[in-house]
Structure 1
Amino acid sequence: MARWWQEFDLLLSPVFATPPKPVGWPWREPDGLQRSVDVLAFTAPFNTTGQPAIAVPAALTESGTPIGIQLAAAYGREDLLVCVAAQLEAERPWAAHRPPVFPAGAIPA
């Protein structure tokens, strides 16, 4: 993986492989662990290799839930990730956006 960074500074990908899921998903489903692994396919390579990555909100669903993008960089380039994330936030501030944390029916009984 380290060779890839000789030609590129950043890798842009989605955070999740699907639209955002409700709080508590998928742990109440029989195949919940496998389903969560499938959804996290874009973050897993960086979690396992230790390469720096950052997730930032890029858009909102119709209901106001953030949709994230992930930026990854070469080993030791956290500075680049934080710099780019700060530039994105300056262009599209997200601090005031609050997603609906517990939509109807999402609170476990």
Structure 2
Amino acid sequence: FDVVLSVAIYYCHLPNCEKSRQISGWLNAAVDTKMMALLKRHYPEAITPWPTTIKQVNNSTYIRIQETVRKFINDEHDNGITPVQFDDIYFEALKRKEA
């Protein structure tokens, strides 16, 4: 769902450019297992236990992951990026690191 909203609002600027800019910051990051591992390295106590698969993520864990993404953005990027941008940056960076 986060990916669909990101594409529709952030990339396609729906319902229009002005509204898209207003609500883009409210979107959550589409976090994969590599991003969860990155967050776990930075904040090992944020979630106990940290999930290792998407299937292990329930609603309360999802909320804690999104809070942790926002904390990471604050700590590492001085709130200079949005959760959608976190998703874009770290998806690519972690994929390159694997290659």
Instruction: Sort the TM-score into its range (normalised by shorter chain).
Output: under 0.3
TM-score normalized by structure 1? 0.22
- Which protein has the bigger helix share? 2
Question: Which one has the largest radius of gyration?
Answer: 1
TM-score normalized by structure 2? 0.23
- Which protein has the bigger strand share? 1
